[in-house]
Structure 1
């Protein structure tokens, strides 16, 4: 039997919601500030997965201009009922401080690949929403409740920010919530309860939630009740999946997932996970998606098939199939009319303002806008890092007229965690390649310049490259007429471009990208043209 190799979705693919329709399986994952919103992968065998859609693709569905880092689309829930796919998602507008300002929406579509509806606002009481289609046709909306207070009651400790799981009925005809709001689950002692999902089996209604935050104490907690309103009793183990007590497990940070059954009744459960690198235990690939084989025991509780609660790297697939490994080298020439699906950009629903594939045929043209640290309109087009060791190469044609015009190649996480190989102008050296680096969000997130003023380079196209070997990053360049790559600057700490870099665990929680960028803070919008992009796995 072919095995499922975890993670099934490598690189930044957190909070997996899984949905089966017939023999087709779909997983929706969070995209945070990256546009278009929500990644949906498809599979027929649970082994091989293909990215097929990002449905939140226009301003009426999603506009994240001004959203801080690690905000935007959190924890979508994908389901199918009444001949429609239903997608529930949050747009979070604030990260630091006491508030989150999280708005929950529903969109629908008859097919995954087709156009999705304009959103309907549901509520804003907390994030991580889900929609449960019950057997009697009623629909139930769940989300965690956010508590901005820090009160004490009867001498107890301050009230938790993660203040239980709310349940309310959703009326699909009026497109509104109806009936009472009930807080049905306070979580286990692990705390930080979020990510709720419901399903029915054998007269029980089961609730799975995420707890413990997104770091190394993350868990999937399971509970059940006879009535949807509760009361809910905890699983005998409390947690279905976690690595919190096994620091040697390959799959760490395991939590936040959803249950699914195959047509013949085999049980699986998704979960997010991370694969830390030593010596700093930083997950440079961000939070990825794993899938575990489960079994039902006589006590009507779900357990991991391999026993225990620690997720396995290899688990049995439901049927005989052939694993199709992704190519180790992917070359993009930008000859097509559309941006390849692997790429995303940041926040804006106006991609025409930041890039074009037709302005110069055969090239990706980026229009220099705001700085590489902007939360509003930044010309940065990138793809996920999916391997601990990889190399990226590109060819850039860019003629800056001032040092305020910059374009190049970047290893990027957010405004405070990136390294960039940059082409710009220097007053005495002329056109140069240099390095802009921001290695953490403290004390003030200022740039450093590891290559100082940079190196003079000839006119015309330039070849740029970066190579990441686990925690180490090295930049390279060469002229269009040459064959020998020249390194630039020292070996940099590529591991800081990770969830745990900078402020550390829970300070941010997306993933690393390799991408192309341009900014022009004169406001003149100077373009930079990129002829190609090559991503090669070195693992």
Structure 2
């Protein structure tokens, strides 16, 4: 109770599963958060709320290849750190398409698209620059617009993160004008990125992320009376970090953005992750692994001497006091069971690098089914038939039912747990020269392929549908199959959920930023275009 008033609380994270790099925005009584999607298509997810507590998906703006062409993109390339703003009666979306992730270069093109409504068709993209990632657009109160991004320095002997650059954008000419200038080089934490500019009470505030995106991550704040600087760093920097609190549930806190409510309250949306429980901890600073990827949380902000502070200390809280607004709940974003009865994919579904189209499959060729047409392998960066959704809980069960008749060992279709092209597992129907149609299992760990099933399971000719199921229990998961939908047979191999996490994959090479997905696929490297019909997909979270 607070003065006789019951405090309603925001439960963190507010966007569960792979939803990183939040850009939060208020337009009137409506709140929006745009998050990164990396190589997953459609690009950018925008969520909507009325109260900062309850959110639902409202838009996937980059849904055409004109707006986002990611064929050939590397793992963890694609859309990094989009930024959403509103001015002049329309929404402005700044986003990157990163084409090179590893090595001395970060080949990236930054774009701008606009739309009068959040869920409409977004405009043809305007190319802004290519000098670095994490761009954003600041609308000053004099009407001028300023583009900011980190600058990548590929020179030998130089720190790759060269600072935050500012350059004016002319909306009439639809291009950047003048010369860019570095306005902030960060602190000794290094790796300064993700700039967001705000003007509040006569100060320009520059919010940036520093320290990388693992357990050293933090949010740095600096301010200046002048847009071009110089910027002084917050006297109690960082604004937020989990680094000094290995014991807390929400780790990797940093990279975020600021919003005020209609009533003058302030909140900060930031990325975070929920590592698996203590018994699964790793050598990585004893912080663990996060197969759900980087998620979005919200913290309340208070002001002291014109500096922002996270209420209760500069670390993320599991529960945060709601703003003084009526609570508005929404219907569930995703159905527990998708029967594939609609003519378009439900917005829980994602594809990798390319859109779902007639080359990949159909929802109308066989009514009540998702038909996938055999494409490239999981290692293919250009063409495939794979539809997946985020893991959003550490305990869940997923199930599907597929009709497929492969005639070659180069063909398969089934259920897949996936992180990237080098880290995944699959249970599927394929073909064996001696046994005919069979059930098999594959495991790819850092690019090394294995077949853990000692003997493939023959599928009788009279069986049309094969059922597949996966059970995820924290750090472990296992597959089952059924030939009639009633009697289930457990595959005698347990897989490690940690192998589908940033922390695990980055141990070997570094620089991976997504999360675990579960979905269905159809592979045909023979070129015969195998057809697989999926009757339903069930995803059910468990306590």
Please indicate the TM-score interval, normalised by the length of the shorter structure.
Answer: over 0.9
Deviation at 1:429, TM superposition (A): 2.0
Native 8 Å contact 2:377 2:384 kept in 1 = yes
Aligned to 1:454: 456
Is 1:235 the counterpart of 2:234 in the alignment?
yes
Distance 1:355 1:220 in 2: 43
Deviation at 1:455, TM superposition (A): 1.2
Is 1:285 the counterpart of 2:292 in the alignment?
yes
Is 1:244 the counterpart of 2:243 in the alignment?
yes
Q: Which secondary structure does the structure 2 equivalent of 1:502 belong to?
A: helix
Is 1:419 the counterpart of 2:386 in the alignment?
no
Distance 1:212 1:466 in 2: 36
Distance 1:525 1:118 in 2: 33
Aligned to 1:154: none
Q: Which secondary structure does the structure 2 equivalent of 1:284 belong to?
A: coil
Is 1:430 the counterpart of 2:436 in the alignment?
yes
Q: Which secondary structure does the structure 2 equivalent of 1:294 belong to?
A: strand
Is 1:92 the counterpart of 2:98 in the alignment?
yes
Deviation at 1:180, TM superposition (A): 2.2
Range with greater deviation from structure 2 (489-498 or 383-392): 489-498
Q: Which secondary structure does the structure 1 equivalent of 2:450 belong to?
A: coil
Is 1:341 the counterpart of 2:347 in the alignment?
yes
After superposition, where does 1:91-170 map in structure 2 within 5 Å? 91-151=97-157, 159-170=158-169
Aligned to 2:321: 316
Aligned to 2:4: none
Deviation at 1:446, TM superposition (A): 2.4
Q: Which secondary structure does the structure 2 equivalent of 1:501 belong to?
A: helix
Q: Which secondary structure does the structure 2 equivalent of 1:518 belong to?
A: strand
Aligned to 2:285: none
> Stretches of 4+ moved more than 3 A in 1?
322-329
Distance 2:454 2:163 in 1: 51
Is 1:534 the counterpart of 2:533 in the alignment?
no
Aligned to 1:224: 223
Distance 1:423 1:489 in 2: 17
Is 1:491 the counterpart of 2:494 in the alignment?
yes
Deviation at 1:389, TM superposition (A): 0.6
Is 1:520 the counterpart of 2:524 in the alignment?
yes
Distance 1:205 1:13 in 2: 28
Native 8 Å contact 2:101 2:511 kept in 1 = no
CA deviations on 1:353-387 (whole Å, 9 max, x unpaired) are: 11210111110001111112211111110111000
Native 8 Å contact 1:417 1:501 kept in 2 = no
Distance 1:322 1:42 in 2: 11
Cα distance, 1:361–1:328 mapped onto 2, change above 3 Å: closer
Deviation at 1:322, TM superposition (A): 6.0
Native 8 Å contact 1:434 1:488 kept in 2 = no
Distance 1:360 1:80 in 2: 42
Distance 1:45 1:328 in 2: 20
Deviation at 1:324, TM superposition (A): 6.3
Aligned to 1:156: none
CA deviations on 1:211-255 (whole Å, 9 max, x unpaired) are: 111100111100000101000000011210110111111110001
Deviation at 1:49, TM superposition (A): 0.3
Cα distance, 1:329–1:105 mapped onto 2, change above 3 Å: closer
Native 8 Å contact 1:63 1:349 kept in 2 = no
Distance 2:354 2:335 in 1: 29
Distance 1:333 1:350 in 2: 17
Aligned to 1:155: none
Distance 2:35 2:454 in 1: 40
Q: Which secondary structure does the structure 1 equivalent of 2:498 belong to?
A: helix
Range with greater deviation from structure 2 (322-331 or 221-230): 322-331
- Over aligned residues, Cα RMSD in angstroms? 1.4
Deviation at 1:258, TM superposition (A): 0.3
Distance 2:229 2:359 in 1: 50
Aligned to 2:3: none
TM-score normalised over the length of structure 2: 0.95
Distance 2:52 2:523 in 1: 41
Is 1:19 the counterpart of 2:22 in the alignment?
no
Aligned to 1:356: 362
Range with greater deviation from structure 2 (340-349 or 76-85): 340-349
Q: Which secondary structure does the structure 2 equivalent of 1:206 belong to?
A: strand
Is 1:474 the counterpart of 2:478 in the alignment?
yes
Aligned to 1:60: 66
Native 8 Å contact 1:106 1:122 kept in 2 = yes
Aligned to 2:53: 47
Deviation at 1:503, TM superposition (A): 3.6
- Give ranges in structure 2 of 5+ residues lacking alignment: 1-6, 283-287
Distance 1:220 1:352 in 2: 43
Native 8 Å contact 2:334 2:347 kept in 1 = no
After superposition, where does 1:504-515 map in structure 2 within 5 Å? 504=507, 506-515=510-519
Is 1:201 the counterpart of 2:200 in the alignment?
yes
Deviation at 1:323, TM superposition (A): 5.8
CA deviations on 1:422-458 (whole Å, 9 max, x unpaired) are: 110112222111111112x2xxx12111114421122
Aligned to 1:464: 468
Range with greater deviation from structure 2 (67-76 or 450-459): 450-459
